[in-house]
Amino acid sequence: MPLVLGAAVEQAQVLLALFIMIAAAKVMAEIFERMKQPAVVGEILAGVIIGPSVLGWVQPSEIIGIVAEIGVIFLLFMVGLETKPQSILRVGKKAFLVGTLGVILPFIAGYLIAMAWDGSFVEAMFIGAALVATSVGITARVLGGLGLLDKRTSKIILGAAVIDDILGLIILSIVSAVSTGKVNYVELGKTALLAIGFTALVATIGSHAMKRLAPRVAVLKLDKPFFNTGLILCLGLSVASMYVGVAAIIGAFLAGMALAEPTEENHGMHKLTSGVTEFLVPFFLVNIGMQLNLAVFKEWEVVALAVVITFFACITKFIGCGLGAWGLSRREMAQVGVGMIPRGEVGIVVAQIGLGLAVITDKFFAAVLFMAVATTLIAPPLIKHFFAEDTNKDGISDPFEEHDVSEEFTRIG
């Protein structure tokens, strides 16, 4: 009996935490919307307020982390549904250049900053790696709220983020291997080939395979057969992505792209997915804010290091990715640059790996943690500013809210 009561109490605590998280997220989102600022910023700040930094109402936990991860998986699945594979392939060369330059400059900057702060060679490598990867979920959320996922620069950002993730994986693998003193080049090569091959395979043939499969799915006796098939594909490719070494969100994005072609069978996919996304994504955003613990910034040295790392994390992505988009207008280059700034959970994960391997000190961990949250807060207002001229004069449309499905498919078709 005590075990049953203990389990019930634990469940109640988890539900209470989720209740506080979503309530705080929606209240802060409403406040920021009324201030004409991106709701995303309010939702992340909600996490800072209710987390360990301020009120301490909710503590980060494994269960909350899992719910947050599922939230960003569905966010990228929804973005994938808005993105035809051909549109990504059309900007492939530009996206590759954006992703590559957006990796090289931040890595060099992170390395040099750590060395200037008397960090070791391995520490400098980890700080460089932490500045590399982009958290595309934040940018996707903002662009989705502005109704701009079908813009050319949005496609470049999404394509570059996939390339960014693969290059970031390779760099992290090398840095982790160097920190342990055992570099297995064969294993690194295999991981890189698997990641690239998996992404290319799903991106190129996934849509064709699903178009052939759609008529067979439609005759299933399941309620909402295509939506249920989409859920299976989303989670299945997310797991497959993790097994080949890239982030689960890449698999979710590819699953959405495979289902992006409008057909008679998937007309309800957007509306049903948007409901799930609207419920889960706030947990992802609030969880990012909860990771920040302001208590670690009692020392001025840590504050200065955090500010310097954050500044160069922003400027190197802005310049590197902006230059990668050379040939577009200046405004479009700026759009690509700011769209690649957020680090979010990706930077936090890299820092945690370094701390777990005992190769970075607490001051560097705290500074990277601050950078990850700060870039995530800085980017949305910049994105909204640089994309302002592209928004509808009648107001901002949100493809994640309920609307007429036939109109949606006319828009993306």
- Per-residue confidence (pLDDT) for residue 321, from 0 to 100: 92
- Would residue 61 count as lying in a domain? no
Interatomic CA distance for residues 413 and 400, integer angstroms: 17
| Angle of the 300-324 helix axis to the 330-339 helix axis, nearest 10 | 140
> Which of 227-236's residues contact partners 24+ apart within 8 Å by CB, and which partners?
227/266, 227/268, 227/269, 227/272, 227/273, 230/77, 230/255, 230/259, 230/266, 230/269, 230/273, 233/258, 233/259, 234/73, 234/74, 234/77, 235/73
- Would residue 9 count as lying in a domain? no
For the chain, give the secondary structure using H, E and C: CHHHHHHHHHHHHHHHHHHHHHHHHHHHHHHHHHCCCCHHHHHHHHHHHHCCCCCCCCCCCHHHHHHHHHHHHHHHHHHHHCCCHHHHHHCHHHHHHHHHHHHHHHHHHHHHHHHHCCCCHHHHHHHHHHCCCCCHHHHHHHHHHHCCCCCHHHHHHHHHHHHHHHHHHHHHHHHHHHHHCCCCHHHHHHHHHHHHHHHHHHHHHHHHHHHHHHHHHHCCCCCCHHHHHHHHHHHHHHHHHHHHCCCHHHHHHHHHHHCCCCCHHHCCHHHHHHHHHHHHHHHHHHHHHHCCCHHHHHCHHHHHHHHHHHHHHHHHHHHHHHHHCECECHHHHHHHHHHCCCCHHHHHHHHHHHHHCCCCCHHHHHHHHHHHHHHHHHHHHHHHHHCHHHCCCCCCCCCCCCCCHHHHHHHHC
Interatomic CA distance for residues 77 and 254, integer angstroms: 7
One-letter amino acid for residue 109 of the chain: A
Q: Nearest 5°: CA angle at 352, between 75 and 288?
A: 35
**pTM, whole model, 2 decimals?**
0.75
- Per-residue confidence (pLDDT) for residue 112, from 0 to 100: 94
Q: How far is CA 371 from the centre of its chain?
A: 15
- Would residue 352 count as lying in a domain? yes
- Would residue 6 count as lying in a domain? no
- Would residue 341 count as lying in a domain? yes
- Would residue 7 count as lying in a domain? no
- Would residue 104 count as lying in a domain? yes
Considering only CA atoms, which of 286, 280, 346, 338 is closest in space to residue 146?
338
- Would residue 63 count as lying in a domain? no
- The tens place of each residue's pLDDT in the chain, 413 residues long, gives 555 566 677 788 889 999 999 999 999 999 988 887 778 888 889 998 999 888 989 988 889 989 988 988 888 888 888 777 777 777 778 888 998 998 999 999 999 999 999 888 888 888 888 888 787 777 887 887 778 877 888 889 888 887 887 787 778 777 777 766 665 667 667 777 877 788 778 777 877 777 777 667 766 777 777 888 888 889 998 998 888 777 788 888 888 888 876 555 556 777 788 888 889 889 988 988 887 777 777 778 888 999 999 999 999 999 999 999 898 888 999 999 999 998 866 677 777 777 777 777 878 888 888 888 888 888 888 888 888 876 654 444 444 444 443 343 333 33
- Per-residue confidence (pLDDT) for residue 171, from 0 to 100: 82
Range of the domain at 182: 14-56+69-412
> What is the domain-level CATH number for residue 297?
1.20.1530.20
The domain tally of the chain equals: 1
